[in-house]
Each structure stands twice: as structure tokens, then as C-alpha cells.
Amino acid sequence: MLKNYFKIAIAVLRRRKFFTFISLFGISFTLTILMILTAFIDKVVGDSYPDKKRDRSLYIVRLEQIGKENSSSGGLSYYFLDHFTKNLKTPVNIAISSGYGGTNTYVNNKKIAVNYKYTNAAYWDILDYDFVEGKAFTRQQVDNAEKVAVISQDMKNEYFGDVASVVGKYIEADNVKYRVTGVVKNVPVTSYLTYSDIYLPYTVSKIDYRNKGYGGGYTGILLAKSSSDVEKMHDEYEQMVKKVPMESKDFNTIYSHADRYVAAYVDTGNEKQSGVTLVLTIISVFVFLFMLLPTLNLVNINITRIMERSSEIGVRKAFGASSRTLVYQFIVENIILTLLGGVIGLVLSVVAIYFLNSAHLIANLELSVNFMVLFIGLLVCLVFGLFSGVYPAWRMSKLNVVTALKAQ
């Protein structure tokens, strides 16, 4: 039966080529945009390089202080992360790093934009960067405030050119020369907690890391011994924050959380607004509105097709075809149409992703079509086919036999 439905669907598509083109264009274009969006989200959320221990990690990205008249919200100071978390019993280690900042350097009269960030030594124990050459700077080098650096592959190529090794060579950033100890595989800029061109010891920062204020430009990653200890680590950090003394009399409440990666990544900076809820709402509204127009368009086209096939429907009803059978047939035909549009959309998505990756619009971000993206694409096709086919099919089932036959 499905084989017959498929043959009928192809025949109907060939009958009115203009309507078919509009339908397929709407489906394939919509699916292409949604698959690119899915590939982007999958890359941002699903790519675990270099923090491959996410299953037993919690991320600290914000500290909010609230008073009767004043409030502040932002990153944390090195002092807060180091002083208050080192007494926690559940974490086996804590990585501390600053956000990345920008500066310029010059090589052979060529200006190069450089992003740099400061880290502690434990940062390299918790995060699993792939070293192309060399290694990370050591705890002793950090304690001695040595001017050493780990750089990315892109920075190596741009600054030093095509050379075999740069370990031991010097790179200049912000008018300071640093000796390169290692080169790591690039991190996409969307992974803002771990992205940089140059990684430096926090002890060489021009900002005094010994300042005992609570706010600053640093974030932390707590590492548990096992994934089963993560909730315990979360609760321990929450209890610790409640016991932290106020930084000044201007504030009476402190908020700071150790969250899972996604919750920390989309943190809004506002205690009253969940970043995860906000992002899910925005994505849901966007997908709904983006699919609404082509769905309504396909519904209208399908109704027009039904009116053109009224005599066929009348004849089939006259020979005993039930409304249920006709509805099932039309929905199957519509799903076949959307799946055909989905195949075209998949091809367009692959082509679009190739050109987006080639254009390097987002530093080091390489999108790909994987099983998750394909699954989302298939799901969208099925939903598209059902929603745009149910109402026209219902209209078709209500056609009167005599009226349908007279319409021809």
C-alpha cells in the first residue's frame, strides 16, 4: 500500500510543478537553516575539547553581591576562588583562569591581533589540551612568575610562520616577551571559558592577583574525584558561599554557584533569571516562528491540491474508500513530500556548512553534520509533514461525495 501511495505522491508532484517547487523550496530552506542552527548548538554544547572531564566538573563563572542600594555582578577575583575554595573537601583540584583579553603585536611590520588569558598550574591538569609540541608551564614556573607561555596552533603559524618547532622561542604580547613552552590545538572562540591565543601564568598579570576583593575577571572549574561526587561538590560550594563574610558594609547578600557546563555557559548574570530557561525559550520561539510561515504556506498549497483532486476523492469515496483511509493516504503523501524536501535541505546544509567553515566567520569553529544533526533534521521533516498535512487531510475527509463529483 505504501508503494502505491508513493507512486500517487510522485504523480501528484509532477502534475503541478510550480506548486511542487514552492513546497520543496520552503521545506528545504527551512530545514537548511534549522540544521545549521542545530550544528552550531551541537558544536557549542557538545564539543568537549579541551574540558573532557565535564561529567565530574562544575564551573564557577559569576559572583553577585547585593545590598540595599548597591549591587554588583560579574566574574570573580583570583583571591576569592583560591582562598575560599581551597578548603573544600570534595574537589580534588580547581582550575582558575581569567577571561581572554585582546592586544596587538607586530612581526615584520605586520600587526597581529592576540587574545591572551592567565591561568594557574592546575588549569593544565584539569583541562586536556592536545599539545602539538612542548608542554604546559609548571607550578614552579607559575610560583616564580616566569614569563612563559603556551600558544595555539594558529598563533604559532601567524607569528612564527612555517617552522618545525617554536618551543624555547619568544613571542611578544603587550610589549612583553614570553618564552614558549608548548603549542596546543586550537579552541573555538565559542568555548569562551577555555579559548585563547596565548595562555600565561596568572602571576605575570599586570593586575594584582593578591587583591582581596571578591569581584574580578576570573572563573573557576572544580573537579570531583568521580561523577557521583558532583552533587556533593555542588552542595558543599553552596554552603561555603553562605558562610563567606561580606566584602563591605554596602552588601548584605552574596550569590555564586558551581554549575554544570551548560548552565554556566548561558549564565545571565542575574540571580532571578535562569540562563537555561531563557535560551530554551528564545530557541523555541525562533524555531516556532521560523517554521510557522512555511507550514501555513504548505497547508494552503495542500488545500489547493485537494480541491483539484476533489473528483478523484469523490470517486474513491463512491467505491467505498473510508475517510480514515483517505486521510492516511494524504498524510503519507505529505510526509513523502517533506522527506524529499528534507533530502534537498540536507544537501544544502552540507554545502552551506562547508562554505561557512571555509569563510572562518567564527575563529576555530568547525561545524559538522553528525548523527544528532541528522536526527533533528529527520524529526523536523516528520513534524513538518504531519502539521502541514493534518488539517488539509481533515478537510478532504469532510468532502461530500456528490459535491466532490460535481466539482469536476
Q: Using one digit for the tens of pLDDT, what is the confidence trace for 138-150?
A: 999 999 999 999 9
* Residue 314 maps to a domain: yes
pLDDT surpasses 80 at 328: no
Q: Is residue 266 part of a domain?
A: no
More confident residue, 64 or 362: 64
Q: Are residues 214 and 309 in the same domain?
A: no
Given 206, 225, 258, the domain boundary residue is 258
Q: DSSP secondary-structure letter at 259?
A: B
Model confidence band, residue 323 (pLDDT cutoffs 50, 70, 90): low
Specify the pLDDT at position 389.
Answer: 67
Query: Per mean pLDDT, which range of 88-92, 113-117, 222-226, 249-253 is the poorest?
Result: 249-253
Same domain, 325 and 236: no
Q: In this structure, are 86 and 200 located in the same domain? A: yes
**Helix (H) or strand (E) segment spanning residue 101:** strand 101-107
Quote the number of domains for the chain: 2
Residue 268 maps to a domain: no
Asked if pLDDT for residue 385 goes beyond 90, the answer is: no
Parent domain of 207: 62-258
Given the DSSP bridges, would you call strands 63-66 and 198-201 parallel, antiparallel or unpaired? unpaired
Q: What integer pLDDT is reported at residue 307 of this predicted model? A: 64
**Residue 307 exposed, middle or buried by CB count within 10 Å (0-12, 13-18, 19+):** middle
The verdict on 130 and 239 lying in the same domain is: yes
Q: Which residue has the higher pLDDT, 137 or 2?
A: 137
Judged by average pLDDT, the poorest of 5-9, 61-65, 154-158, 230-234 is 5-9
- Cell triple for 219: 572563573
Rounded (to 5) percent helix, strand, coil in the chain: 50, 20, 30
Q: What is the pLDDT of residue 77?
A: 94
pLDDT in tens, 230-274: 999 999 999 999 999 988 888 889 999 999 999 898 887 777 777
The H-assigned helical ranges of 178-322 are 230-243, 261-265, 275-308, 310-318
CA distance 118 to 224: 23
The confidence score (pLDDT) of residue 37 equals 85
Residues above pLDDT 90, as percent of the chain: 38
Cα end-to-end span (Å), the chain: 27
Dist. CA 48–CA 99, nearest whole Å: 19
Residues 245 and 304 reside in one and the same domain: no
Task: Label residue 202 by pLDDT band (50, 70, 90).
Answer: very high
Residues in the chain: 408
What's the CA gap between 201 and 146, in Å, rounded? 8
In a domain, 265, yes or no: no
311-345 per-residue burial string, b: 16 or more CB within 10 A, e: under 16: eebbebbeeeeeeeebbebbbbbbbbbbebbbbbb
**Taking the CA atoms of the chain, what radius of gyration do you get in angstroms?**
29
- pLDDT given at position 315: 63
Same domain, residue pair 174 and 229? yes
Least confident of 242-256, 279-293, 380-394: 380-394
Across residues 320-330, what is the average pLDDT?
68
Does 310 lie in the same domain as 194? no
Mean pLDDT, rounded, for 118-134:
96
Residue 105 above 60 pLDDT? yes
pLDDT at 162: 86
Backbone angles phi, psi at 5, to 5 degrees: -60, -40
Residues 286 and 246 occupy one common structural domain: no
**Rounded to an integer, what distance in angstroms lies between the CA atom of residue 148 and that of residue 139?**
12
**pLDDT tens sequence across 336-382:** 777 787 788 888 888 988 888 888 777 778 888 777 777 777 777 67
Q: Is residue 52 part of a domain?
A: no
Residue 102 belongs to a domain:
yes
The pTM score is 0.81
Is the pLDDT confidence value at 306 over 80? no
Is residue 271 assigned to a domain? Answer: no
CA angle 279, 240, 126 (to 5 degrees): 65
Looking at the fold, whether 101 and 194 belong to one and the same domain comes out as: yes
pLDDT for the residue numbered 363: 75
Question: 253 with 308, same domain?
Answer: no
Average pLDDT over residues 124-148: 96
Beta strands, E only, 125-260: 131-134, 148-152, 170-173, 176-184, 198-201, 218-224, 253-256
Q: Do residue 295 and residue 251 come from a single domain? A: no
In a domain, 263, yes or no: no
Report the alpha-carbon distance of residue 242 to residue 83 in Å, rounded.
15
Residue 239 · residue 233 · CB < 8 Å: no
Tell me: do 11 and 153 sit in the same domain.
Answer: no
Residue 394 banded pLDDT, cuts 50, 70, 90:
low
